[in-house]
Amino acid sequence: MAATKDFQDVSSVEKGTPDLTNSGQASVSSTISYTAEEERRVLRKVDLALLPGLTFLYLLSFLDRSNVGNAKLLGLTKDIGLGAASKAPVYNTSLALYFLGYVLFEIPANIVLKKFNPRVWLPTLTVAWGITATLQCLVKNEAGFLAARFFMGVSEAGLFPGIVFVFSMYYKRNERHWRVAVFFGGAALAGAFGGVLAWALGHITGGGLKPWGWIFAIEGIFTTLVGLTAYFWVPGYPRQAKFLNEREHAILIARLQADSDSADEEPFSWQGVWEAFKDPLVLGYGFLFHAYAFTLYSLSLFLPTIIAQLGYASWKAQLMTVPVYACAFLSILLFAWLSHHFNQRGSFIIIAGAIAIVGYIVLLTTHTAGSRYAGAFIAVIGIYSANALLLSWPSENVSPQTKRAVASGMQIFIGDVGAIVGVLVYRPSLSTNFYRTPHGISILYTALGMIIAGALAFSMARANKSGNARRADRKEAKGEVALGDRARGYLFQL
């Protein structure tokens, strides 16, 4: 006969999950009982409702932001006057403007998400950037392209941290990193599909568009159509989960209440915003992504160019990115499993960073096309695996909800400043000797990320050991903002 779990005992089922609500209170009124099989069935339904669709949205997001690298190989910079020798590296400036728009609207977008429903907000973002991505096919000059890239960043801002926040509302704390890693794998898959699509679409001629214009038009229109359908299948918050029946819904709420603040109906609070801004750990998560975002986006946007520099034709360089990203996706899954098995995040972020540094060293010290291609393989595997883990860290450790929503936005806000630096460093004037100087800077940034990951893990381990290191300096009063990760006895996921 299947074992029955009582609500009060659910929090003890999985290793490393503290029995704390976001308010620090240890008891709740519900006494619903359910079997382990029922709990697994509910979790499978949640996975099916969230993971495929939201991962697909992020895949489209990453595809639409990074296909500019493929378009560049098909003559984009030459056709609209970005490649003139007398001009500054306008192509790099356009990439930086994308991230500037992204950065400026990241935190406001997540504040809007907390105030409104993700079922409306996330599809709206998708439609907005799909339309903007499509209109890139019509640009004729430098000014139009710079404006298009900026508004691409504005319209995509909020999708990634918004989806991570939604995951944090449906899963227990120690279940989140695996889902975020699978979701982030959409970025690697986008790189793989992007190479194939760019090769195929690059053969289209006529219709008043250049081959690079067809990449923007077809991929952008597809995104817009998917965004319109998303209004019908993107889920709302857990208490509005229409894909569960009444009992399954009760089980979902019970298991979340026993673990964290996910099921609480916490109203938006400016106090929660302020708590996020002044928390040194939240800032640490941001600077950790800052270091790794430098390499993540410089690789994703310049990998076709880097491979083309090995002596391959542009069409072959497009296709040769496919196996690189396919291996990155498999590596993300492996690192997520190892991280879950050993119940560690920081140590595996450091290991992945070390792997990336090995890849960059191979790129710098070898001189044959095959060995440099292998170096690109190794670097991409390490960088993508590290980012998959570090992007879930705040969702596991920051509470209550408003603070967590802002923390997710802050991580991307601070991180994408690193992306701006990266795309400006990989400029034509530094492309000599196979981007030797930019690759060297990438090594330094990755090493910095490893140091920050170690410092974060050490700080949280010390807080867990002391027990009272994060103790609130005031008593919680009725109606006051919940203490969340400042509550006595709160345990961080290292």
Taking 60 as the threshold, does the pLDDT of residue 2 lie above it?
Answer: no
- For 214, residues 6+ apart whose C-beta sits below 8 A from its C-beta are 137, 201, 202, 204, 207
Cα separation, 260 vs 274, whole angstroms: 21
- 250 φ/ψ angles, rounded to the nearest 5 degrees: -65, -40
Cα separation, 457 vs 286, whole angstroms: 14
Cα separation, 241 vs 100, whole angstroms: 35
Cα separation, 217 vs 264, whole angstroms: 42
Cα-to-chain-centroid distance, residue 92: 22
Contact 214, 109 (CB under 8 A): no
Q: Quickly state the pLDDT bin for 261 (edges 50, 70, 90).
A: low
- Residue showing tokens 């980012």: 387
Q: What is the pLDDT of residue 31?
A: 61
The tens digit of pLDDT for each residue in 206-243 reads 888 998 999 999 999 999 999 999 999 999 888 788 89
Report the interhelical angle of 36-73 vs 211-230 (nearest 10°).
Answer: 160
**Weakest mean pLDDT among 25-39, 204-218, 471-485:** 471-485
The C-alpha angle 159, 161, 163, rounded to 5 degrees, equals: 65
Stretch 275-283: mean pLDDT: 92
- Residue showing tokens 């999985």: 14
Cα separation, 154 vs 152, whole angstroms: 5
Q: Is 365 helix (H, G, I), strand (E, B) or coil?
A: helix
Q: Where are the domains of the chain?
A: 35-461
Q: What is the pLDDT of residue 10?
A: 36
Q: Quickly state the pLDDT bin for 378 (edges 50, 70, 90).
A: very high
The tens digit of pLDDT for each residue in 441-460 reads 999 999 999 999 999 999 99
Taking 50 as the threshold, does the pLDDT of residue 26 lie above it?
Answer: no
Nearest to 308 by CA among 393, 369, 250, 366: 369
CATH architecture of 35-461: Up-down Bundle (1.20)
Q: What is the pLDDT of residue 86?
A: 35
Whole-model pTM: value is 0.83
